[in-house]
Amino acid sequence: MGSRLRENPARLLECWCEVVGPQGKDRPPWILQKFPNSYNDKEILKSVPQFAFPCTFDRSTVQHFSFVLTSLDSKWTYGYCRHAPGQETAIIILSHLPWHQTFYKLLNHLSELMSNDLTSDLTACLQSAYKSPIPHPGSDITIPYGNNKFFVGHCPDHRKLPTIPENRNLSEYYNAVDANNMATIFASMLHERRIIVVSKRVSRLSACVQAANALIYPMQWQHIFIPVLPQHLTDYLLAPMPFLIGVSTALLSKVQMEDVGEAVILDADNNSVRTPFSDLQALPEEVLQSLRRNLKAANNTLGDGVARAFLRALVQLIGNYKEALQFRDQDKKITFSKEKFVTSRPAHYQPFVEKMLDLQIFQQFIEERLERLNGGRQTSDEFELEASVYSEKGGGGKVKQQYKQFVTSVRKEGGAIVKTMKSKTNPAVKSAVKTVTKGGKQVKERSRQTYKDLRGRLKDLQVPQARGEDTGEPWMNGEGPKKPQSAPSSPTHSTRRRPRTTNFEGPPGFSARATYKRASHNLRDDSRPRKYDLIESGNGGGLMSPGSTDSLSTPSPQSIDLMGEMEEIIRAKLGQDGEQDDDDDDEDFDDEDEDDESRHSSSSQSSHSSVRNSLGSESATGSTNTVMAAQRGEADSPTALQASHKYAT
């Protein structure tokens, strides 16, 4: 049992009929006329009147519906009916093509010709339609007839998914039934249940049943399929086999539901479903969530969104069927392995997929695919394209499992590589760290010892000097080489101008002297000669020249060596703090170095400040300091004379 559709229909329509309705219980419906008269399929012609008038229904408005007749080769012949208000007859077109909208439009056109008593045009139109070649699906069809008259219609591509609003059946089904109930009917069809659709309108019955079958594409319903059940076939509702039947509300009221047994009933007028099964919940969770999410999407109201949502659900279930195909060497045929098909699916899919193997709708699908493959025909369609997309996204069961195995393998191998690298690199790294640490400690110890030796040597040189002893170092006794006559230039300090020399006349035997000796700098050697000359005054009074004998001789003024003064102050400061620093010799070298730099900076600032204060203040108090120095017996000392001459200016 394969597809229900004929692959290569010979013509656009097979037959056109006009059927008279029943005239009471004793006179059933019958065919009034047909075209062509040569059509003689007795089985079909016998069934047409009964399906054209299946039951009593409201004909106050135009009613379009369809039915199917199954031939001995299991192929369907579609019957398209039109009932007009106030008319005792109905017109029907029989065709092998599932083009509902196209033939409904053609029926309307033929009905208009009939109502205008244009018999010649009706015959001409039917003849042209019967002889017209089948247009390519998706294109337009033009049927010329009479005197420059045409019928133009669109031929849908039934190989593609139905769209809204172009597809009349799907549009009616979607408007009458919500997404959840549509999914329930879909799941029931995948379990091949006994399904009944109920409505007062035959057009709605037909549309819902046809649309439900279209939504299981690429599969097709393989059991009893009656879009609108005729009254004389009511016993079909009692059949134990699966079926999908549309029943009018009036006809179903005459049936004993206890006799029907377990069946899924969809009330299309009230949008309700009654089912004794849990078929929807039996779907794999991923499939169900994906189906609901796609049906709720806003863009599904138009186009093929609704049909594609159900197609993707089927792709998730059976889209990997090619993984179970095998080549048989005996007859050079491609076969299908059920066992491989189940094992290739994820574990939580396998229970449902295993049940699908027994479904006739699935068997029909596999048989059709194998027939195409073994016949060398193309298998590309909407299902195959969607399956390819799903597989590329990693949704295929086998592909997904292989990917997971690959990732797991990479993680294991990666972990082993990391462990190997750690085992090899850790000893080397540890050894390097130890070596660097040990070397750093040795450098630190040597630096600390060198610093201690340097400080000890400075102390040894400074202590004898404080006691007035000869240090043995020429530069400490003022015998070293003379320093440059000017201090290094500084980019941040402007050069201080020397104070002008003023004339001073004191009492005979009285000399002015300014001292530059602080109590904390008692280790300074004041006998050290100055390295600058006195600037001579322009007049004859005041301070005497070095050759004068009238008063104490004063050395010539010299340039002030600030850096030398600062160096002496730093050494003096270090000497005072020597004893305190001995207790801290065990501290880190870095900390002591920072402290020494801080002291050096502080002493430098103190030296600059002392020099400025002395230059500004002690010159003004020269006479007083000289008297005090004379009282202490220091006025005649060379150092006093030098200091007096130095700061008197």
Region 545-572: what's the mean pLDDT?
57
* Confidence class for position 167, pLDDT limits 50, 70, 90: very high
Burial 443-466 (b: 16+ CB within 10 A, else e): eeeeebeeebeebeeebebbeebe
Q: Minimum mean pLDDT among 169-178, 220-229, 546-555: which range?
A: 546-555
* Beta-strand relationship, 264-267 and 194-199: parallel
Residue 146's pLDDT is 82
The span from the CA of 156 to the CA of 167, in Å, is: 9
pTM of the complete model: 0.62
Asked if 245 and 388 count as a contact pair (C-beta separation under 8 A), the reply is no
Q: Is 553 helix (H, G, I), strand (E, B) or coil?
A: coil
Tokens found for residue 251 = 């006809």
The span from the CA of 590 to the CA of 444, in Å, is: 9
Q: Give me the numbers of helices (H) and strands (E) for the chain, helices first please.
A: 21, 14
Closest-CA residue to 288 (of 317, 257, 325, 322): 317
Furthest-apart CA pair in the chain: how many Å? 174
Region 560-567: what's the mean pLDDT?
67
* Confidence class for position 90, pLDDT limits 50, 70, 90: very high
Asked if 207 and 173 count as a contact pair (C-beta separation under 8 A), the reply is yes
List CB contacts of 124: < 8 A, sequence separation 6 or more.
145, 146
The span from the CA of 472 to the CA of 488, in Å, is: 29
pLDDT tens, 618-645? 444 444 444 344 444 444 444 443 444 4
Region 33-39: what's the mean pLDDT?
95
Residue intervals of the chain classified under CATH 3.40.50.11500 are: 160-395
pLDDT tens, 493-508? 444 444 444 444 445 5
Closest-CA residue to 248 (of 173, 211, 210, 197): 197
374-383, 513-522, 561-570: range with highest mean pLDDT:
374-383
pLDDT tens, 403-460? 455 445 545 555 555 566 556 556 665 666 566 566 667 766 776 777 777 777 776 6
Residue 465's pLDDT is 52
Number of other CB atoms surrounding residue 262 within 10 Å: 9
Asked if 264 and 185 count as a contact pair (C-beta separation under 8 A), the reply is yes
Residue 340: pLDDT above 80? yes
Asked if 353 and 341 count as a contact pair (C-beta separation under 8 A), the reply is yes
The span from the CA of 562 to the CA of 567, in Å, is: 9
* CATH superfamily, domain at 160-395: DENN domain, C-terminal lobe (3.40.50.11500)
Number of other CB atoms surrounding residue 588 within 10 Å: 11
- Run of H or E including 328: strand 325-328
Number of other CB atoms surrounding residue 213 within 10 Å: 21
Region 57-65: what's the mean pLDDT?
90
**187, 190, 194, 199 alpha-carbon torsion, rounded to 10°:** 50
Q: What percent of the chain has pLDDT over 90?
A: 48
Q: Is 16 helix (H, G, I), strand (E, B) or coil?
A: strand
The span from the CA of 477 to the CA of 469, in Å, is: 10
* Confidence class for position 576, pLDDT limits 50, 70, 90: low
pLDDT tens, 369-409? 999 899 888 778 899 999 999 888 765 545 455 545 544 55
Residue 426's pLDDT is 64
Region 32-41: what's the mean pLDDT?
95
What single DSSP character describes residue 164?
Answer: B
Q: Minimum mean pLDDT among 186-195, 287-296, 351-360, 473-482: which range?
A: 473-482
What single DSSP character describes residue 35?
Answer: E
What single DSSP character describes residue 191?
Answer: T
Say which CATH class 15-154 falls into: alpha beta
Residue 566's pLDDT is 74
Q: What average pLDDT does the structure give for the chain?
A: 76
* Beta-strand relationship, 15-20 and 30-35: antiparallel
Residue 26's pLDDT is 82
The span from the CA of 391 to the CA of 383, in Å, is: 12
The span from the CA of 425 to the CA of 28, in Å, is: 97
pLDDT tens, 68-81? 999 888 899 999 99
What single DSSP character describes residue 160?
Answer: S
Closest-CA residue to 326 (of 317, 338, 315, 314): 338
Please, where are the H alpha helices in 532-588?
562-576, 578-582
Residue 297's pLDDT is 78
- Which residues are bridge partners to 90 per DSSP? 19, 83
Asked if 229 and 251 count as a contact pair (C-beta separation under 8 A), the reply is yes
What single DSSP character describes residue 519?
Answer: G
Residue 541: pLDDT above 60? no
Closest-CA residue to 80 (of 55, 110, 113, 123): 110
Quote helix, strand, coil % in the chain, to nearest 5. Answer: 50, 10, 40
Residue intervals of the chain classified under CATH 3.30.450.200 are: 15-154
Tokens found for residue 59 = 């004909």
* Confidence class for position 296, pLDDT limits 50, 70, 90: confident
Q: In terms of residues, how long is the chain?
A: 649
* Beta-strand relationship, 224-226 and 149-154: unpaired
